[in-house]
Amino acid sequence: MIVLALNSGSSSLKFGVYGVTNDKADVCLTGQLDTIEDLAERLATAGVPAPQAIGHRVVHGGPLLRRHVVIDDSVLRDIEAAMPFARRHTPATLAVIMHTRKAFPTLPQVACFDTAFHATLPDVARTLPIPKAWRGDGIHRYGFHGLSCESIVHQLMRELPGGLPDKVLIAHLGHGCSVTAVKAGKSVDTSMGLTPDGGMIMSTRSGDLDPGLVMHLLDECGANGTRLQTMLEQHSGLAGISGLSGDMRHLHAAAGTDTDARLAILMFCLSAAKQLSAMATASGGVDLIAFSGGIGENDAPVRAMICDALAWFGVRLDDDRNVSGQGRISADASTCAVHVVPSREDEQIARHAERLLVPAMD
């Protein structure tokens, strides 16, 4: 099956065309789009095989959509109903789905949810510590970056000589950041919560905050709900700490002379190490740490600082391996393996589309 995978994130619109057979996805073409209107022309000029199906990354499925599904009108209504949980992401994703339904009216389409991988969270991780009366209507921990986690589990399972280790911690570090504890292939805890704004420090998102701070900003500083949401999602995190940029590359360039840029990097690395320590507790130990995402895959100094903060329980990197940034980067004496594993969300979308649609076509 030839699948067009569309990945509309918080800061990009990526696409990939894959040939999928029996869970194996071969890439035909990948790229990034400025607007969805460019898609048909891009595919036509590239000379790739015509897609037979389309798969979409959807950040939040809400309480009703906990599995990857074939899109119909009912599914679209449920995605729209879940929009309050991911207001930065869902409107753009719905616009992409509606456009592709018009541009490719005969093709089946599939929605793949970042929250689906975390549907296995136990109650002790899923439940939020708020009054029981408020815990209805889908108010609980969902977790995100699920397609990235799935792709990492898929790669480790097939590429490591012993298969997937029992206790894996996944640090997806990019524009958005999360840490997930995977035990026996299933998510058992994760740093993001009801929305993709929780957990560790991110590029422009604050991550977890004292609720009293939020109330103080609302009551004493004249911030209304909309202004506060914008501040915490778009002007906080690395960008807020440094006053310079949410891009780690810019912060590295400035860190030699800018104390706030240095502080932002240090706080980011400590935030990641804290989450990894917490997830090691949730999974009852750690056999392997996987770094992924734009920062996790490409920033050797950040990986080194995070792992230095974990030296207390025996994590050690090999400097040369870390600089190469491929495969295992831990030292032989490390208490757990540390790997760099690329996030391949689009391949996962293609696999899910083939899995869901081929039986229906047979």
Residue-wise pLDDT for 89-119, tens only, equals: 899 999 999 999 999 999 999 999 999 999 9
- Percent residues over pLDDT 90 in the chain: 85
Q: Note the pLDDT of residue 360.
A: 66
Confidence of residue 30 (pLDDT cuts 50, 70, 90): very high
Q: Which is nearest to 204 in space by CA: 8, 10, 9?
A: 10
pLDDT, average across residues 119-137: 94
Catalytic annotation, residues: 114
CA distance 76 to 285: 40
For residue 85, what are its two tokens? 């949980």
CATH topology of domain 152-340: Nucleotidyltransferase; domain 5 (3.30.420)
Question: What does the pLDDT average to over 299-328?
Answer: 98
Contact 57, 345 (CB under 8 A): yes
pLDDT over threshold 90, residue 10: no
Q: Which residues contact 279 (CB under 8 A, 6 or more apart)?
A: 169, 179, 180, 181, 189, 190, 191, 286
Share of the chain above pLDDT 70, in %: 98
Mean pLDDT throughout 79-89? 91
Q: What is d(CA 310, CA 277) in angstroms, rounded to the nearest whole number? A: 8
Residue 131 has pLDDT above 80, yes or no: yes
Pairing state of beta strands 53-58 and 2-8?
Answer: parallel
Mean pLDDT of 242-268: 98
Q: Which pLDDT score is estimated for 177?
A: 98
**Helix axis angle, 90-103 relative to 39-46, nearest 10°?**
60
pTM above 0.85, yes or no: yes
Q: Which of 83-97, 166-180, 262-276, 282-296 bottoms out in mean pLDDT, i.e. has the lowest?
A: 83-97
Read off the tokens for 239.
Answer: 């960008």
Mean pLDDT of 112-141: 95
In a 13 Å sphere around the CA of 270, the CA atoms on its Cβ side amount to 8
SS3 letters across the chain: CEEEEEEECCCCEEEEEEEEECCEEEEEEEEECCCHHHHHHHHHHHCCCCCCEEEEEECCCCCCCCCCEECCHHHHHHHHHCHHHCCCCHHHHHHHHHHHHHHCCCCCEEEEECCHHHHHCCHHHHCCCCCHHHCCCCCCCCCCCHHHHHHHHHHHHHHCCCCCCCEEEEEEECCCEEEEEEECCEEEEECCCCCCCCCCCCCCCCCCCCHHHHHHHHHHCCCCHHHHHHHHHHCCHHHHHHCCCCCHHHHHHHCCCCHHHHHHHHHHHHHHHHHHHHHHHHHCCCCEEEEEHHHHHHCHHHHHHHHHHCHHHCCCECHHHHHHCCEECECCCCCCEEEECCCCHHHHHHHHHHHHHHHHHC
Mean pLDDT of the 41-62 span: 93
Domain residue ranges in the chain: 2-143, 152-340
Q: What is the mean pLDDT of the chain?
A: 95
- pLDDT beyond 70 at 161: yes
pLDDT beyond 80 at 362: no
**According to the CATH classification, is domain 2-143 in 3.40.630.30?**
no
Per-residue pLDDT band at 12 (split at 50, 70, 90):
low
Q: Do domains 2-143 and 152-340 have the same CATH topology?
A: yes
**What is the C-alpha separation between 327 and 304, in angstroms, rounded?**
15
Taking only the tens place, the pLDDT of each residue in 275-290 is: 999 999 999 999 999 9
- Whether the per-residue pLDDT at 296 is higher than 90: the answer is yes
Whole-number Å distance between alpha carbons of 296 and 308: 15
Tell me: pLDDT of 228 over 60: yes
What is the amino acid identity at position 247?
A: D
- 241 band by pLDDT with thresholds 50, 70 and 90: very high
Cα separation, 314 vs 26, in Å, equals: 38
Phi-psi map region of 243: left, alpha, beta (phi>0 left; psi -120 to 50 alpha):
left
Determine the Cα–Cα distance for residues 16 and 29; give it in Å rounded to an integer. 6
Question: What's the whole-number mean pLDDT along residues 146-159?
Answer: 98
pLDDT higher than threshold 80 for residue 268: yes
Q: Are 238 and 203 in contact (CB under 8 A)?
A: yes
**Cβ distance 109 to 70 under 8 Å?**
yes
Contacts of 91 (CB under 8 A, 6+ apart): 83
Given a cut of 80, is residue 359 above it in pLDDT? no
Task: Supply the pLDDT for residue 257.
Answer: 98
